[in-house]
Structures are given as structure tokens and as C-alpha cells.
Amino acid sequence: MLARIVTDGQEHKNAFSVYDPTMGSGSLLLQVKNFIVDSPTLNLTNKIQYFGQEIKNQTYNLARMNMILHGVSSAQQHLRFGDTLGVDWPSDEPTTFDAVVMNPPYSQKYDASEGLLMDPRFASFGKLPPKSKADYAFLLHGFYHLKDSGTMAIVLPHGVLFRGSSEEAIRKKLLEEGKIYAVIGLPAGIFYSTPIPTCILVLKKNHTSRDVLFIDASKEFKKEGPRNFLLDEHLNKIFDAYKERKSIEKFSYLASLEEIQAQGFNLNIPRYVDTSEEEEEINLEGVFTELLSLETEEKQLKSELNEYFQQLGLNYEI
């Protein structure tokens, strides 16, 4: 889903670059090639440039091996072992990319030292995300490395949509500048690492209308055992709604900045997409009629039982 979103409208570029600052084994990076089309001068093998960073050495080596196994040449892979939030990378050309994809660790602690306020990744926001929750730190890092014409998609916990303090200030600035393009709520239980529901935030730098598309896909899954799975039919429904960018009853809503301002810049999806089902009207007259009928049947049954007890010579009455 993330790869499909970030490549949308860019499938035919003569060259394409993608960056994952928390790449893990590189699987998300490699998904991008499934949605890029060969160009007249370059085939897919040479067309895509992959950039990624990973803090765990063993996982970093897995990513390198994964690239090789998928036929990505050394000239096309630019992978680094390092701390994404510690020292900014890439710092040499290229520093911005056509697509940024991320599934970072959720609500992780990080070193939110005051020196980071001078870092160009965070400086323009005037505040740092709380040191106990690095979610927006990862988001701002990835967004800093996005081209003006590019698209970023990041998976995060729902808390980023409504938490206050410095996170609210960052969210407000992103919204006022029209950087948040879409919010997609996902079902719970679709990741091995966590059972909690998550959301996709889609960001663009060239989105001028400042409206935000909300999609509630929390019910779009197939349950198998303890886990939930997004099937092709679910993915297609979500992506079609993303592409159409319009309100669909009980599934999506295109909210203006004014509507979001009225909600205090809270992006909690149920505030915009009403998925509640109307309760069935109760016919009170019918209920009373049924109760009277049951009461009559009860009296008749008691009478029949008492008569039966008398026939048996039992001195017993209900």
C-alpha cells in the first residue's frame, strides 16, 4: 500500500529514487519496483535508486543481502548502518528523493537534546517531539528528505493524530502549510510486532489546497487466527478511495482546513468519518402486544399444570 501510494503519478519517470530511513531488512524499499514502469532508456534494474538506513547491524546486513537476492546492483543500492535521528543522512547529494517510505518503531525514546532545534530537519518547527515518543521526529526526518514533487507515506500509531503539547504544534504547522495529504486508518492486528491499530500519514510538499482526505479502513480485513490480513480487494478499495479523493459514506471524507481548525487540529479519524450504524427502531406497540401474549400463555400454562397436579392427587399449586 505504501509503495503504491508514493509511486502514484511518478510511475513513468526516467529515474526514480526512494528512501527508507528505518529500512529494516529493506523489504519496503523493494516493493517500489512493483509499481514503476520501464522507461525507453532504462529498465527497472537501472532505473531505481534505493537509499536506506538501519540502526541494527545484523538487520542492515540482511537488507544488503535482500537487495542482492532481488537483483539490485551495488550501483543502485545506497544503504547505511547508522542512527537516523542521531546524525542526519544523506548529507551529500542526493539529499532529497521522489519517495519516502517508513514504518519506524512506534513511540520510541530518543535523545531530544536542545541542539536538535538547530538541526534543519526540525528547526523550522520551533519544537521537538517529546523525548519519550520519537514518532514525529521520524516523520520530520523523512519529510525533510522528500523532493518538492515527491510523496511520503509513513505508518504510525493513532496517537500522532491527536496528542497535544509539542506534537500538536508540529501537527498544526504541517496542516496549516498543507503538507498532510491523507490519513488512512488501518485495522488492528496486521503487524507481527504489535496488535494495535495503526494509520498511514501521506505527506506532500506541493499540496496547496490544504484539505486532508480521511479514510477509515479499520474494517477492511480478513481474520485468520489471531491476525488480520489485508487482501487485494481491501487494498484496492483503499487505494481507489485515495485516488478519487472524495467523500464516501462511512468510509472516507475530504475535510477542509477550516473543518480541521474547528476540531482543534485533531485528526482523530472518527471526527471526520462516521462509521456508526443506526440502531433499528423499536416498535413499542408491537413489544407490548407480544408481552401481553406471553403473559396470557403463561397463565394458561399455569392453569393446565395445576389441573394436572390435581388429577395426580398432589396438593400443589403454581
**pLDDT tens for residues 162-199?**
999 999 999 999 999 999 999 999 998 888 778 889 99
Confidence band of 114 (pLDDT split at 50, 70, 90): confident
Closest by CA to 215, choosing from 186, 236, 176, is 186
> Facing residues of 3 across strands?
none
Query: Peptide bond preceding 90: is omega within 30 degrees of 0, i.e. cis?
Result: yes
Question: If 0-12 CB within 10 Å is exposed, 13-18 middle and 19+ buried, where does residue 121 land?
Answer: middle
User: 55: which 3 cell numbers?
Assistant: 540502526
307 pLDDT above the threshold of 80: no
270 pLDDT above the threshold of 70: yes
Q: DSSP for 123-192? A: GGGSS---TT--HHHHHHHHHHTEEEEEEEEEEEEGGGGT--HHHHHHHHHHHHTT-EEEEEEPPTT-SS
- Name the pTM for this structure: 0.85
Q: Residue range 223-230: average pLDDT?
A: 86
277 pLDDT above the threshold of 70: no
Closest by CA to 179, choosing from 151, 141, 138, is 151
Which one has a higher pLDDT value, 312 or 217?
A: 217
Closest by CA to 182, choosing from 221, 239, 141, is 239
39 pLDDT above the threshold of 90: no
Confidence band of 74 (pLDDT split at 50, 70, 90): very high
Q: What percent of the chain has pLDDT over 70?
A: 96
What is the pLDDT, as a whole number, of residue 41? 64
Q: Residue range 279-300: average pLDDT?
A: 78
Neighbours of 34 (CB within 10 A): 10
Closest by CA to 174, choosing from 199, 144, 219, is 144
Confidence band of 294 (pLDDT split at 50, 70, 90): confident
Confidence band of 42 (pLDDT split at 50, 70, 90): low
